[in-house]
Amino acid sequence: MISIAKPLIGDEEKQAVLEVLDSGILAQGPRVKAFEEAFATMCGVKHAIATTSGTTALHTSILALGIGPGDQVITSPFTFIASANSILFVGARPVFVDIEADTFNINPDLIEAAITPQTKAIMPVHLFGLSCNMQSIMEISKNHNLQVIEDACQSHGATYHGHKVGSFGTGTFSLYPTKNITSAEGGMITTSDDQIAESCRVIRQHGMRRRYYHDELGFNFRMTDIHAAIGLAQLKKLESFNRRRQKNATYLSNHLQGVVTPCIPPGSEHVFHQYTIRVPDGRREDLMLHLQEHGIGCGVYYPVPIHQQTYYVNDLGYQQSLPESEKAAREVLSLPVHPALSTADLQSIVSAVNEFMSK
Ligand SMILES: Cc1ncc(COP(=O)(O)O)c(C=O)c1O
């Protein structure tokens, strides 16, 4: 079986975890600090703040920006549920703007029409490893005085015109095992703003600046040194992992037939968290069955856009039509692209897809 995702854990990660276990400092300690510093350097920002997951990184960032009940945040409906749920966690409302057909990312041309007096922020989601159009999004945010929270949970190391994602606004990353790098579970916030960084650190630690003095409501969103040790060892491999993902993606795009392969806009470096094709003419479900019969893992990210999820429709009253997101949900299929694939694996994927599509 060729799996859709595979974390690559080596001796470095194992050794680093053993060292933490021997050190006696298991919760947030020196490894978390070292991981944060290395992550900030990778992103080209002043601060990184480690949390327990991508979801808590998003939740903490939104709180740190002062967003709360009655506020609106513009985001994409074609993403993992955590992007929008994190807006709900603080009592604000996600406002969904449709995506571009070619990149699957939020369409900047549609954002201004969705801005209201309640809008406080835009949350671009850099889906599948590809940056959103950050030039347009940053321009709109400046013109309307809006915050930018980047959901970069799928895009570690991706760049837009030479700048790393997570360095435009407040960045958020997931370190879940299927991601380009992992800490088992974990998240990271990136910012060059001293005040936002300080606020995130306080929220992560029960609103505490001085030990047992609580100035505001906070949470326990601290990463452990065990997770940070894995993350730090993985971060050193990010560049090489991403190169292998890109090489695998190039092979697939050069050889696949009868499907729409991923688009890489000029100026963007795609890091292929997912290699996502479109399967036209209602043939996706049958192609999935065919791939499963040939031992090839694949996945649909995402089968239901968020504005059509049961909770959003029944409990929150969403009734929108967002045609590009709905079409993408019917057509997308992600194929294995992870760094552990062999040349033989790639050849098997190509021949199974091409055999089915040529029928
Ligand atoms: C786009 C996006 N946002 C947020 C998250 C949440 O990250 P986590 O699973 O680490 O909480 C994910 C993780 O799958 C994601 O893909």
Q: pLDDT tens digit string along 106-154?
A: 999 999 999 999 999 999 999 999 999 999 999 999 999 999 999 999 9
How confident is the model at residue 173, as a pLDDT? 99
How confident is the model at residue 89, as a pLDDT? 98
Dihedral angle computed from the Cα positions of residues 306, 196, 133 and 173, in that order, rounded to the nearest 10 degrees: -60
Centre of ligand 1 from the C-alpha of residue 192, in Å = 22
Report the 10 Å Cβ neighbour count for 192.
16
Residue 94 φ then ψ, to 5°: -70, 135
Determine contact, residues 350/256, Cβ cutoff 8 Å: yes
- Which ligand 1 atom is the nearest neighbour of the CA of 55? 11
Centre of ligand 1 from the C-alpha of residue 80, in Å = 6
**pLDDT (tens digit per residue) in 18-57:** 999 999 999 999 999 999 999 999 999 999 999 999 999 9
**3-state SS, residue 9:** coil
Centre of ligand 1 from the C-alpha of residue 78, in Å = 13
Among 329, 286, 304, 320, residue whose Cα is nearest residue 101: 329
Return all residues near 338 (Cβ < 8 A) that are at least 6 apart: 3, 4, 5, 6, 8, 245, 248
Q: In this structure, what token pair is assigned to residue 155? A: 């895009």
**3-state SS, residue 49:** strand
Give the whole-angstrom CA distance, residue 132 versus residue 51: 24
Q: Which segments of the chain does DSSP mark as H helices, in order? A: 11-23, 30-43, 54-64, 81-89, 134-143, 194-204, 225-235, 238-255, 284-293, 310, 323-331, 343-357
Low-confidence spans in the chain with pLDDT less than 70? none
Ligand 1 proximal residues by C-beta, below 6 Å: 53-55, 79-80, 82-83, 125, 151, 153-154, 174, 176, 187
